Amino acid sequence: MPSAHEVRAMRRAIAISAQGLGSTSPNPPVGCVVLDVRGRTVGEGYHLRKGEPHAEVNALAAAGRSAEGGTAVVTLEPCNHYGRTPPCREALLAARVARVLIAVMDPTSRGAGGAAVLRQAGVEVEQDVLADEALVVLGPWLSATKTGRPHVTWVYQAALDGSPVGEGEAVRNEVAALRGAYDLVVTAGGAFDEGRPGSHGRDVFAVLRGDAVPGSPEALFAAGARSVLVAGHSPGAAALLAACLPDEVIVHVPGTAESWAPSPEAGPVGVLPDGYRVTSVAPAGNGVRVTGTRG
């Protein structure tokens, strides 16, 4: 069982991992905290972008010799393959940590995962530590990895019947606030922009800088996108949404009077598309902001 201090360290690792959202794709946003043999935090790090050091390597570099005999607390199973960088399990063994705590296992592990190799080397490994909480950050990457399509969030202004209408100020403000955490934004004009321009590795989204914009969710995935924010209601947005149901919707619903009689002839009054359930509701401006997920 992880100690109270280790649980706190995992929450810290989850929080700092989010700084990689909108830049790490196609790699996952991962955070790592290193505790020394007495349980004190001596290093932390996260993964910023493809081609740069992974979270564990950054955290171990910060900890230096203090990691020896200590514990590495990491939000995703350490990798076990030679890619752009040596595998993280190698860095963990070289740093001689005694214990590794993992929140979420990596479904992309090639062959035996990093956890198995660490155990074989005599390191104590605990997995599923705050997995649900880590998925708040890793969830979109994980679902994209499993489906081969980016995780799609659609923000729009709804009419009273719940149908999407043209982009309004509420949608523009929403997109401005959220875009930094997404790989790509599909603008009202149908263009694909990086959520944070220039944030990804050099070869990621090179395809988007050409003339041919990928038309399918699978092509966006192949280009490196793991999360896409679709803004408003436009032909460009409609093309993508027709090919890929959004995983998540954020709907700005107009306010009504405290007592109001809808015209029965006007048809049903709605909020979310069919097949979505409410996950949060809050007053926003003169109306209500409702979020929903599929299923």
Residues known to be catalytic: 56
Please state the closest distance from residue 139 (CB atom) to Zn ion, in A: 19
Closest to Zn ion by CB, 36 vs 56, is 56
Pattern 78-107, binding to Zn ion, x per CB under 5 A?
Answer: -x--------x-------------------
Closest to Zn ion by CB, 113 vs 150, is 113
64, amino acid identity = G
Asked if residue 46 lies in contact with residue 168, where contact means CB atoms within 8 angstroms, the answer is no
Contact pick of 50, 54, 226, 252 for Zn ion (by CB under 5 A): 54
The residues that bridge with 45 in the sheet, in sequence order, are 32
> Does residue number 48 form part of the binding site for Zn ion (CB under 5 A)?
no
Closest to Zn ion by CB, 28 vs 217, is 28
Distance (Å, whole) CA 214 – CA 204: 13
Asked if residue 205 lies in contact with residue 219, where contact means CB atoms within 8 angstroms, the answer is no
Distance (Å, whole) CA 16 – CA 113: 24
CA distances from 187 to 8, 26, 190, 231, 245 (A): 39, 21, 5, 5, 17
Distance (Å, whole) CA 197 – CA 140: 20
Closest to Zn ion by CB, 32 vs 249, is 32
**Could you count the other beta carbons within 10 Å of the beta carbon of residue 166?**
12
The residue among 14, 139, 28, 150 whose CA lies nearest residue 83 is 28
Among the listed ranges 47-55, 100-108, 126-134, 197-205, the one in contact with Zn ion (CB under 5 A) is: 47-55
Please state the closest distance from residue 88 (CB atom) to Zn ion, in A: 3
**Total number of residues that touch Zn ion (CB under 5 A):** 3
Please state the closest distance from residue 147 (CB atom) to Zn ion, in A: 23
Binders in 60-79 for Zn ion, by CB under 5 A: 79
Asked if residue 248 lies in contact with residue 229, where contact means CB atoms within 8 angstroms, the answer is no
Please state the closest distance from residue 8 (CB atom) to Zn ion, in A: 23
Please state the closest distance from residue 93 (CB atom) to Zn ion, in A: 13
Residue with tokens 């929080």: 15
Binding site for Zn ion (CB under 5 A): 54, 79, 88
